Amino acid sequence: MLSEFGYILLFIITAIVFTAVILFVAKLLRPNRPNVEKLTTYESGEEPDGNANVRFNIRFYVIALLFVLFDLELVFLFPWATVFGNETLNNSTDGLWGWFAIVEMFIFVGILILGLAYAWIKGHLDWVRPEVQEPQFKSPVPISKYEAINKKYS
């Protein structure tokens, strides 16, 4: 088992060394003539305006929380998936093992889906929309006059 994780270690080392070598070689090769225009933040060709450190919508936090919960469920699913179709266990229990395992897992996932459905129906997952402020303005000219002008010049 440890030697199999050794491959992962090799991958990690390769990633670090590869990045370092590429950056170093690029630094050796490239010309270095910075100016103000080159050093500005590139954002789709737009001139950057204001602070990047804005407050995010609180709703993202709920989504992240739900993600962590289902992530935990996934952790339980993994060891189950390796033994659920095990042939020796299935044969020695006359196929009962597989049925038992799948029923248990359906109950486990079902409980969580029940919770998700409850939160969904109760509206806890609704996206908080920013309030649109409609301008309050009463024009002395009736709207039909504007429409008449629009029709005349269109």
Are 91 and 99 contacting, i.e. CB atoms less than 8 angstroms apart?
no
Report the nearest approach of other proteins to the CB of residue 127 (Å). 11
Q: Which one, 56 or 137, has the nearer CB to other proteins? A: 56
Residue 90 interacting with other proteins (CB under 8 A): no
Instruction: Give least dist CB 146 to other proteins, A.
Output: 38
Distance CA 47, CA 39 (A): 12
Taking the complex as a whole, how short is the minimal distance between the CB of residue 135 and other proteins, in angstroms?
25
Q: Where are the alpha helices (DSSP H) in the chain?
A: 2-29, 36-39, 59-84, 87-92, 96-121, 143-153
Site string for other proteins, 119-148 (x = CB under 8 A): x--xxxxx-x--------------------
**Cα 98 to Cα 85: distance, rounded to the nearest angstrom:** 6
Minimum CB separation from other proteins for residue 74, in Å?
7
**CB of 85 closer than 8 Å to CB of 98:** yes
Window 40-69: contact mask with other proteins (x via CB under 8 A)? -----------xxx-xx-xxxxx-xxxxxx
